[in-house]
Amino acid sequence: MGYTAKFKVWRGDDTGGGIEDFNVDVNEGEVVLDIIHRLQATQAPDLAVRWNCKAGKCGSCSAEVNGKPRLMCMTRMSTFTEDETITITPMRTFPVIRDLVTDVSYNYEKARMVPAFAPPADLAPGDYRMAQIDVERSQEFRKCIECFMCNNVCHAVRDHEENKTTFSGPRFLMRIAELDMHPLDTVDRREVAVEDHGVGYCNITKCCTEVCPEHIKITDNAIIPLKERIADKKYDPIFSIASLFKRNKQGRQAAPDTPHATK
Amino acid sequence: MADSAHNLSNAARGWESAMATTGIEAPGRAQIGAKTLRTDAWWIAPLLTFLALTAFVVYSAWRVFSGKYYFYEPYISVYYSPCLSTSCVPGSEFAGSPISWWKMSPALLVAWIPLAFRFTCYYYRKAYFRSFWLSPPACAVAEPHGKYTGERRLPLILNNLHRYAFYLGLVLNVILTWDAILAFRNHNGEWGHMGLGTVFLTVNAACLWLYSLSCHSCRNAVGGRITHFSKHPVRYQMWTLVSKLNSRHMMWAWISLCTVVVADFYVYLLASGRVSDLTFF
Ligand code: SF4
Ligand code: SF4
Ligand code: FES
Ligand code: FES
């Protein structure tokens, strides 16, 4: 059954803005993004919103719904009561462009800083062979749709703008973990994870995991294992002494230089 | 705890200014002006965690420092095992209790191990960073601190040595398991008996094993650090098993915390003569 919902939507740009009230019709089965589209169609034709697939797969429509990072296209109106006021704001960690659209280039800069996948030099691209059990851990991380809500919610940058130069956020720590677990990769990224990507900023408070729309266990399966692998190399005295006597079978190389985020 | 009260009051004062300069109201971001827009009761979880952990710390401190009522044949309190100082009450000694120079409560010789284990535990880190340090108090709720450096410096960088606390914890688990076995005797030391204390000590030892084996460092050690599982089938099996336990690590952290308190409190009640042991056979 249709009803009229009370919406509060943040409107403005980098020079300022504020929350505006709207009453919008809601039909059965709709999601928040439908309501934002109806707002555009009926009351606020210049409302800026980024979206693409409306299926939770493109990662464009990230915003904050009643203060929580959500994909607008995957947030059903039926999860709210009819008399509830629903507040929509842009993500609060990235610079705002206009209304609900933010500039997420921080994430692209950090992505470029991760040393790329490096298979053994003598292995031709058609000859990659991997056992399923060796790749399945990293396959979980491949579900990422790059909505950047994890980086948006991470308090290390959300509450501390200055840490953006030194911390890459859960999305890219997960990328490093993915490559570190990759059976065909030859680069050791553990040093850069500490020095360039600031893995030590993460205090395992798990908000990234809480908001991930793909339900990736970012903290448990990527960041903590990465921290443990780094501890093997960097912080564990016994392990580092033992590794001196062991031939490094994988022969992992040091990470090559990558473009660094503008500081 | 004093720190935490201090934090809370700082929170009130520091919030506005921290937000304006460095956090969610930093220049360029949408100027929204609320530390959070969450409408749910986000503060309940950190509050309950704060209260529960505080209660546990207060109880443990009382028991550990008291140096009394920790042994009632055949049960020994978890906080006092292994009892290593010559002052240990008769029957509670471990390996001849060789440490004669120790004058304080014998619990202090061992209680730092579980303290270090739980303090550096990845789950408890989440718990205390959220509920004591409010960093962050809940997701998408601004934290009250103007600066944040994470676990990159002393002393918090030491959390990276969690594995050593884990190894020591395993040794302690073996001893506590032995204590549970010894508890299958009666008050006169005869085998083949069981009382309520036997149940508490056994369940506690089992829960401590489950807590320890579900540890993230354990998961890394048994197989997580390997890249080619296919070449290490046994370690892959172990890793799979530990991973299953690991997904419930928080649950085991809380359950084992409770069993420690229950098992100890029962010994306290017996040793102080407040109740007599309920024996089954
Ligand atoms: S678990 Fe770590 S990376 Fe994830 S949100 Fe918390 S601090 Fe950030
Ligand atoms: S890990 Fe999850 S929350 Fe983070 S960008 Fe990918 S899909 Fe979004
Ligand atoms: S529009 Fe593609 S994820 Fe929402
Ligand atoms: S005991 Fe919790 S992670 Fe090791």
Residue A134 lies in a domain: yes
Residue A143 lies in a domain: yes
Give residue B48's pLDDT.
98
CATH of the domain at A160: 1.10.1060.10
pLDDT in tens, B91-132: 999 988 889 999 999 999 999 999 999 999 999 999 999 999
Domain final residue pick, A37, A72, A102 = A102
pLDDT in tens, A187-224: 999 999 999 999 999 999 999 999 999 999 999 999 99
CB neighbour list of residue A118: distance below 8 Å, 6 or more residues apart: A185, A186, A187, A253, A256
Residue A61 lies in a domain: yes
Domain final residue pick, A102, A129, A149 = A102
Q: CA B224 to CA A130: how far, in whole Å?
A: 18
Average pLDDT for A138-143: 97
| Residue A72 belongs to domain spanning | 3-102
CB A21 within 8 A of CB A87: no
CA of B48 to the centre of ligand 4 (A): 21
pLDDT in tens, B177-234: 999 999 999 999 999 999 999 999 999 999 999 999 999 999 999 999 999 999 999 9
CATH of the domain at A90: 3.10.20.30
CA of B278 to the centre of ligand 1 (A): 48
pLDDT in tens, B30-88: 999 999 999 999 999 999 999 999 999 999 999 999 999 999 999 999 999 999 999 99
Nearest-CA distance from A106 to chain B in Å?
A: 13
pLDDT in tens, A218-256: 999 999 999 999 999 988 877 767 766 665 545 678 888
* CB-based contact A235 B161, cutoff 8 Å: yes
Nearest-CA distance from A68 to chain B in Å?
A: 6
Nearest CA-CA partner of A4 in A85, A63, A74: A85
Ligand nearest to the CA of A146: 2
- Residues A31, A88, single domain; the answer is yes
Residue A253 lies in a domain: no
- Residues A222, A145, single domain; the answer is yes
Note the pTM of the prediction, 2 decimals.
0.93
* CB-based contact B151 A95, cutoff 8 Å: no
ipTM (interface pTM): 0.92
Of A92, A167, A201, the CB nearest to B30: A92
Residue A251 lies in a domain: no
Domain final residue pick, A102, A137, A164 = A102
- Residues A83, A158, single domain; the answer is no
* CB-based contact A160 B147, cutoff 8 Å: yes
CB B252 within 8 A of CB B207: yes
Q: Searching chain A, which residue's CA lies closest to the CA of residue B217?
A: A228
- Chain-centroid distance of CA B131 in Å reads 15
Residue A158 lies in a domain: yes
Residue A256 lies in a domain: no
CB neighbour list of residue B107: distance below 8 Å, 6 or more residues apart: B63, B64, B65, B67, B70, B77, B79, B80
- Residues A125, A143, single domain; the answer is yes
Q: Whose CA is nearest to atom 2 of ligand 1?
A: A202
Give residue B5's pLDDT.
44
Q: Domains of chain B: which residue ranges?
A: 2-271
* CB-based contact A203 B125, cutoff 8 Å: yes
Residue A259 lies in a domain: no
* Total number of domains constituting chain A: 2
Q: Which atom of ligand 2 is nearest to the CA of A69?
A: 3
